[in-house]
Amino acid sequence: MKQKIENQTLPIINLSNYFGVKATEESKKDVVKKWNDAFSTVGFAILINTGVSQHSITALEVSACSFFAQADALKCDYSLGKYGIRGYTPIGLEAVGRSLDPALIQNIDSIKPDPVESFVFKNGGAPPDFQPENPMTLVPAVKMYWKEMETLLAERVLPLSAVSLGLPKNYFNKFYQCEGGKLGNNSLRLAYYPALDHGVNNCATRYGAHTDYMGFTLLRPDPMIAGLEVLYPDGNWVEVPPILGNAIIINSGDLIKRWTNDLWNSALHRVKISSTKSRLSVVFFTGPRDDALVETLSINGASHYAPVLVKDHLNEKIKATNI
């Protein structure tokens, strides 16, 4: 029986021990080992000394909470009707558990909509992120945070991942680079879990068990209210406590698992909230550009997967998620 375990933390990786001015060859080797160990086991880690400013984190959290506090009718002005496109998605339109491998789903009709509302940005807050107009209270904070996430991805996460796999440090970057300087197929999702007494029927599971679709996910959970739970390799669910400062939770998604020929894990995770207060998560999904062809690396035995275009992989996942 799968149990929930509390007071156990994810692996913690100090990026200054690799990228900092005082980093040594020994400390760099230690970071590389921890990076590989984290993704080949639980698939999650907590990054500290990320270079992300506390100002950009706080500004986005405050702006997002102000947006979601508005009346539903005002928020729906920014809805395009389906999750995963752009803009606002009200409660009842997505069921992330449906995106799992069909072999893992006993009864897809039993997977109900997730009691969460969200706002998705696809272009860093710049047009045409959504219509009719950008909510101006959100855009400046989104642009600032987006820029810092792309820097973390391009200058820290991708090179360190390549080195950990014995590849040239710019190996993954070339799959992300797009014309005009844009970096990859990234998106920012603001996930808002309304207070339990606001019509959510006291449902403890707020976002069903799922894996992330694409590359690495850079997550900034609510700093005060826990909710994220990760399924560890031993079959137990582990509750992740709130993180402070400029720490970022990172996890590897389905495309990374495929790319590394199952060497790195794409772990099941979910959101369960017992608090009666609302909760906000800021999720930066990353992935290679749409036209990139992902072929498994020559590691971990014979290839387990056929080559796939990034856009085909993502579209299949999003289609399954929408109700």
| pLDDT tens profile 199-220 | 444 446 777 788 998 999 999 9
Helix, strand, coil content of the chain in percent (nearest 5): 30, 20, 45
Q: What is the pLDDT of residues 33-76, one digit of tens each?
A: 999 999 999 999 999 999 999 999 999 999 999 999 988 888 88
Mean pLDDT, the chain, integer:
83
Over residues 298-310, mean pLDDT: 92
Percent of the chain scoring above 90 in pLDDT: 50
**SS3 category, 242:** coil
Residue 220 bridge partners (DSSP) = 282
Percent of the chain scoring above 70 in pLDDT: 79
Q: pLDDT grade, residue 9 (50/70/90)?
A: confident
Over residues 74-95, mean pLDDT: 73
pLDDT above 50 for 105: no
Query: What pLDDT is recorded for position 14?
Result: 97
Residue 64, domain extent: 4-321
Give, as one character, the DSSP assignment of residue 29. H
Long-range contacts of 77-82 (CB under 8 A, 24+ apart): 77/132, 78/119, 78/130, 78/132, 78/135, 80/130, 80/131, 82/322
pLDDT above 70 for 130: no
Whole-angstrom Cα distance, residue 77 to residue 68? 13
**SS3 category, 270:** strand
**SS3 category, 83:** coil
pTM for this predicted structure: 0.87
pLDDT above 60 for 282: yes
Number of domains in the chain: 1
Least confident of 12-21, 98-107, 108-117, 300-309: 98-107
| Nearby residues of 251 by Cβ (< 8 Å), 6 or more positions away | 43, 44, 45, 212, 216, 217, 219, 230, 266, 267, 269
What CATH number is associated with residue 166?
2.60.120.330
Q: pLDDT grade, residue 83 (50/70/90)?
A: low
Query: What pLDDT is recorded for position 204?
Result: 66
Q: pLDDT grade, residue 132 (50/70/90)?
A: very low
- Residue bearing the bigger pLDDT, 50 or 276: 50
